[in-house]
Amino acid sequence: MLLNKKISISYFLNQIKYQILGVTVFAVAFGFIDQLPVIRNINIPISIPALLGTAISLLLAFRTSQSYERWWEARIIWGAIVNDSRTITRLSLQFFNKEQAEKLAYRQIIWVYALSESLRKLPFSSIVENYIKEHGVRATNIPNALLDGHSDQIKNTLKNNEISDFAQLQLNEVTARLCDSMGKCERIKNTIFPRSYSVLLHTLIYIFAAILPFGLDDEQLSVEILITILIPSIFIAIEKTAIIMQDPFENLPADTPMTKICQTIETNISDMAGINKISNFKQSDTYAQR
């Protein structure tokens, strides 16, 4: 994944430690059950665990693919936000006077920070809070209210004959694209990956771990238990990778790096509009800089 910082092995192992413990208990228990005299002569053709393992692999491939698509779509959307933020700033510098252009530039910077923080369901940072209080922004959806501010400014400047109809059309078109990107992010955030899919996968993995010892050589108990732990653990690790990727706005290591993108947007807009940067961005949260 396109991250500057690597996900530590300890973080990943911490995410799957209980599942691995469960698989280990399963493997040891069924390994010793397979050694009981009454059951020792019961053998399952290895093709049956192999067939179940193939089915699990196909389900995991689908799950991983769908999760990556969600993560990548989120990154594409934020790439579009970067481009449209530059575009609306460039157009405002062409069509507005300096005061009006700076006003829109500041609001656009606040908008990207407000959107990233609302998607992660974090308290607004001081720069967003100060802007909201100073300008009396009151709404349930603050990012949407800030885009309304763009629209109102465009409408008022047209009404005062400060811009042409063509300029209004261009500016409204970019504002609409920003609103569209915001809606796409909210769709990803609010669409939950079906829980039943994970339940099915975990059930199949534990069934696989239960029947695998009966298809292996009974003479090598330690090897039998090790294989029964190793293969399901690989399946669990693959599924956890998919789970980590499937929600790109949860303030986790595999998130879309929204804060860094916002800082890039702020730097670009500040340079273009000739204004000072307004953020001294520090958050206590572990992955806020992503």
Tens-place pLDDT, residues 155-182: 999 999 999 999 999 999 999 999 999 9
pLDDT, mean over the chain = 85
Residue 153: CB partners within 8 Å, gap ≥ 6?
100, 103, 104, 107
Neighbours of 3 (CB within 10 A): 13
Q: What percent of the chain has pLDDT over 90?
A: 47
User: What pLDDT band is residue 191 in, cutting at 50, 70 and 90?
Assistant: confident
Q: Report pTM.
A: 0.82
Whether residue 10 is predicted with pLDDT greater than 80 in this model: the reply is no
For the stretch 247-279, pLDDT in tens is 899 888 778 899 999 999 999 999 999 888 876
* Contact between 218 and 40 (Cβ < 8 Å): yes
Query: CA 73, 77, 81 angle in degrees (round to 5)?
Result: 170
Q: Nearest 5°: CA angle at 281, between 280 and 286?
A: 155
Least confident of 14-23, 239-248, 280-289: 280-289
pLDDT value of residue 114: 95
Contact 68, 245 (CB under 8 A): yes
Q: Band the pLDDT of 223: cuts 50, 70, 90.
A: confident
290 pLDDT higher than 60: no
Instruction: Give tens-digit pLDDT for 76-89.
Output: 999 999 999 999 99
Instruction: Answer yes or no: are the C-beta atoms of 258 and 78 closer than 8 Å.
Output: yes
d(CA 241, CA 14): 13
Closest CA to 221 of 46, 27, 45, 39: 27
Q: b/e for 41-63, b at 16 or more Cβ within 10 A? A: eeeeeeeebeebbeebeebbeeb
Token pair belonging to 286: 């572990």
